[in-house]
Amino acid sequence: MVELKTPGEIERMLVTGQFVAEVLGELRERARVGVNLLELEAHVREKIRLRGAQSCYWDYSPSFGRGPFRNTVCLSVNDAVLHGLPFDYALRDGDVLTMDLAVGIDGWVADSATTIVVGTAAPEDLRLIRATEDALAAAIAVALPGNRIGDISAAISAVAHDYGYPVNTEFGGHGLGRTMHEDPHIPNAGKPGRGYRLRPGLTIAIEPWFARTTDRVVTDPDGWTLRSADGSRTAHSEHTIAITDDVPKVLTLAR
């Protein structure tokens, strides 16, 4: 069931969204060569504690994971793309790092992800990251009342196609608000004009992610981390947005 939010509820999600943006911004600064993933996890854990926020990941036990998850941020390196379990690893020059963060404050959730290159960036890695960012921007641009979920999905897959990257349709975006995952599901590929009609008050996380040369993922032996099936590098960009009467409001964009 899709729950539409009132303007007041969206304002509360914006408060959470701004905190998520702040923490991800700090992680982008801190993720340098030699920094351990566990240091980044510890930083997020402390930020959440000080803010009195709730981690959406802590104790998360979905059917696909080897639960419960005992971390507050997902950190995915190189061929890892989703649900990356932080582990004892010092970042190396040229690593591609995806940071995905979902928290609640006073019962209202926001979810965002960003990918960076640590140290010296290879052009093909920057291109992959840019593709996910372009796809996210294209998807947000069509998140207008009267359009449909299929328009968002199609905008993402069109950008992937232009760049020449395959698209996985299993893991995509989602509604959110009181919890991290609500209806509707938002596939990263689809047909325009199909699916649930967008309307003011709908709050969704849009999250294009691509691997360079495959649309398939495999689960890591750690039981959580999803990697590209062929070991190719990956990138992921995500924002939480609210559909309004006008252009969408991007709740996790730093203001």
Per CB under 5 A, residues contacting Mg ion are: 100, 111, 113, 205, 238
Task: Compute the least distance from the CB of residue 102 to Mg ion, in Å.
Answer: 5
Q: How far is the CB of 66 from Mg ion (least distance, A)?
A: 19
Closest CB to Mg ion among residues 111, 134:
111
Q: How far is the CB of 30 from Mg ion (least distance, A)?
A: 19
Quote the tokens at residue 129: 């990251």
Given the complex with Mg ion, which of 110 and 155 has the nearer CB atom? Answer: 110
For residue 146, count other CB atoms closer than 10 A to its CB: 9
Task: Give the residue with the Cβ less far from Mg ion, 213 or 253.
Answer: 253
Q: Which is nearer to Mg ion, 179 or 213 (CB)?
A: 179
Shortest gap between Cβ of 34 and Mg ion (angstroms)? 26
